[in-house]
Amino acid sequence: MRIGLVGYGAWGRMHAGAIARIPELSLGGVVCGGEASARAATAELPGVPVHRELDALLRDPAIDLVDIVATNELHAGMALAALAAGKHVLVEKPMATTLADAERVVAAAERSGLYLGVGLELHVSKQWERVRALIAEGALGRLRYANLALFRRPFRPGSGNWRRTSTRVGSWILEEPIHYVDLLLWYFRESGLPVEISADGVPSVHGAGMHDAFTCTFRFADGAYAVFSQCVAGFEHSLNLEIAGAEGALRTTWHGAMDRTHTPSFELKLQRAGSEAAEIVPIEKSGEVFELEEQLRRLPRDVAARKPLVSARDALPSLRICFAHGGGSFPGTFGRIAHGFEARPDLCATRNPYGPERYLKRLYLDSLVHDARQLRLLVDMFGADRLALGTDYPFPLGEDRPGQLIASCGFSPEIEQRLLEGTALEWLGMESV
């Protein structure tokens, strides 16, 4: 299989090195965004065509799959272009920096019938996948709690300072926490998607979407909850995961001088259901440099079967959020928030160059506001395609007959259908129930 590599920064070089070690793969071309990386690729990859534009690579009929390791803001557009050119795609996380672009990638991939995988390689980790296997086999019983903490040195700025530029990186949540949000959703799969999410953080001086410390709590309908926290104002690279189930528990750690070390230390300890003592579960090796190579090694088989390790559809829940109770107080205070942004940018626009109206059509809300006037306002402000029937389950303040508020508003049949089922099906990635 001939791979076209897009991006030749530090992580792009890791991809190139891994491809060279896999006999079933060959590097058929590289796209470089800058002169320095183009010179480096020419020197380090003799005989491999080096391009400055993606179109040149896409015109090559010998390229089977495009491996996108460019800066975050380019991922979605490049993935769409590669699919349109008839190429299979492996795209680094995040597949997009906005939900709207991520949904376009999902739709294009599913329309095309081509392979599109997202670079969430921890699913093949000897350490992190082993945790999922232990959960699946019942070693912990029903999950009740998890705490996953990352303490690390500051992010590298990247070429042209892209990782510290909000319009290019998207946010630091999309840079590394997306891996661990994905893991927690995978571990708690039997609990369904979270019904409540809360977050807090310490903003970085580098601008909007960047936090030196960030904590997020996910609560599930069955009463379980999970916490993820990241601190990028620290040193080295340390991960600690604790999970408690109804019948067992585990703790696993990973530590290295940096995230891409080949010589980390790691451990997985498990107290199995029915046991009082903890045991050490053997792990052969662990680290993103090994997991990247394993994901790439799977490509010939996965592409042939059109079964990505993590598909675009699978990756979407870690990017999509729906706010309960019609978004709470936000719609009612939107005018004041927008006015503050324009009138007092020194106070209200210090970490974000965009006004709040930019985000209205990106949010999902539920319909459970118990007031027809408020629901009509929400449909007018956000659109029916961003509102879904809310039930308040498992709490007791829902409607006696779910949907009766929607039925009372006098909406057209098309809008009513959208509110009752269409938006929820879209949000869940389902065609029907």
The domain locations on the chain are 2-120+294-312, 126-286, 322-428
* Neighbouring residues of 126: CB distance < 8 A, sequence distance ≥ 6: 283, 284, 285, 286, 290
Q: Range with the lowest mean pLDDT among 33-47, 179-193, 264-278, 348-362?
A: 348-362
Do 2-120+294-312 and 126-286 agree at the fold level?
no
pLDDT at 433 over 80: no
Residues ≥6 apart with Cβ < 8 Å to 46: none
The answer to whether 5 and 78 have CB atoms below 8 angstroms apart is no
Q: Which of 141-155, 158-172, 313-327 has the highest mean pLDDT?
A: 141-155
Neighbouring-strand partners of residue 88: 65
CB distance 242 to 254 below 8 Å: no
pLDDT at 8: 96
CATH, domain range 2-120+294-312? 3.40.50.720
The structure tokens listed for 34 are 């800058």
Sign of CA dihedral 18, 20, 22, 26: positive
Predicted confidence (pLDDT) at residue 353 exceeds the cutoff of 70: no
Q: Is 128 exposed, middle or buried (0-12, 13-18, 19+ CB in 10 A)?
A: buried
Distance CA 69, CA 128 (A): 23
pLDDT above 70 as % of the chain: 97
Q: What is the model's pLDDT at position 429?
A: 66
**Stated pTM of the model:** 0.78
Element (H, E) at 292: helix 288-297
Mean pLDDT of the chain: 92
How far apart, in whole angstroms, are the C-alpha atoms of residue 418 and residue 239? 42
Prior bond to 331 cis, omega within 30? no
- Contact assessment for residue 365 and residue 395, using Cβ atoms and an 8 Å cutoff: no
Tell me what pLDDT residue 395 has. Answer: 82
Q: For residue 43, give the 3-state DSSP assignment.
A: helix
The pLDDT of residue 356 is 80
23 token code pair: 């006999």
Check pLDDT > 60 for residue 409: yes
Average pLDDT over residues 320-327: 83
Whether the Cβ atoms of residue 114 and residue 77 lie closer than 8 Å to each other: no
Please tell me the distance from the alpha carbon of residue 207 to that of residue 184, in angstroms, as a whole number: 27
| Cis bond upstream, residue 394 (ω within 30) | yes
Give per-residue burial for 314-340: e unless 16+ CB within 10 Å, then b: bbbbbbbebeebbbeebbeeeeeeeeb
CATH 3.30.360.10 for the 126-286 domain, yes or no: yes
Please name the residue ranges forming H helices in 113-189: 128-136, 166-169, 172-175, 177-187
Give the pLDDT confidence score for residue 234 in this predicted structure. Answer: 95
Q: What is the pLDDT of residue 58?
A: 98
Give the span between the Cα atoms of 204 and 161, in whole angstroms: 15
